[in-house]
Amino acid sequence: MPPRYYTVSWDQLHRDSKALAWRLIERGPWTGIVAITRGGLIPAAIVARELDCRLIESVSIVTYDEEKRGEPVVAKHPVAAGDGEGWLVLDDLVDTGTTARLVRAMLPKAHFATVYAKPAGKPLVDTFITEVSQDTWILFPWDTEAQFIAPIAKSIQK
């Protein structure tokens, strides 16, 4: 079955990231935030603003090339976060959990939060906002641009 697509606008991402901040505020205060790059950078900035958190670290794990999964490679470690005690780890999405497992191994005491979660990765996340089906590919605003799309009726072959 071909994947389903769910398009997230900048406004929707901002609303969902702010909703995540509301869920996280009672669990703080946080020493800092670790953004999982690249997808977690923008949600981390929004959550950091809402939680008034100024210390931002990053971890870079490369697992995707466009829509194709590969073996994960740690390109940058989150050195400042130590074992994660008091730190909030943020990503845009937990999918299969590959990235989450690696980050949890690096930062076992951190709180892991994502804006979106799929069933396979959901058990690895402490806090999230929206669950989507495993076969849904989320199109984030940094991956898309507005363009004309033909009406459905025009795309159905008869």
- Which two three-digit tokens encode residue 7? 């398009």
Distance CA 13, CA 93 (A): 11
Catalytic residue (one of 83, 92, 126, 135): 92
Please indicate whether residue 135 is annotated as part of the active site: no
Catalytic residue (one of 16, 52, 65, 95): 95
Identify the burial level of 132 via C-beta atoms within 10 angstroms of its C-beta, where 0-12 means exposed, 13-18 middle and 19 or more buried: middle
**Residue 152 phi, psi (nearest 5):** -55, -45
Please indicate whether residue 126 is annotated as part of the active site: no
Distance CA 99, CA 102 (A): 5
Catalytic residue (one of 91, 126, 135, 143): 91
Please, which residues have CB within 8 angstroms of residue 116's CB and are 6 or more apart in sequence?
8, 16, 92, 93, 94, 128, 129, 130, 131, 132, 138
Please indicate whether residue 11 is annotated as part of the active site: no
Strand 87-94 relative to strand 32-37, pairing: parallel
Q: Catalytic amino acids?
A: 91-92, 95
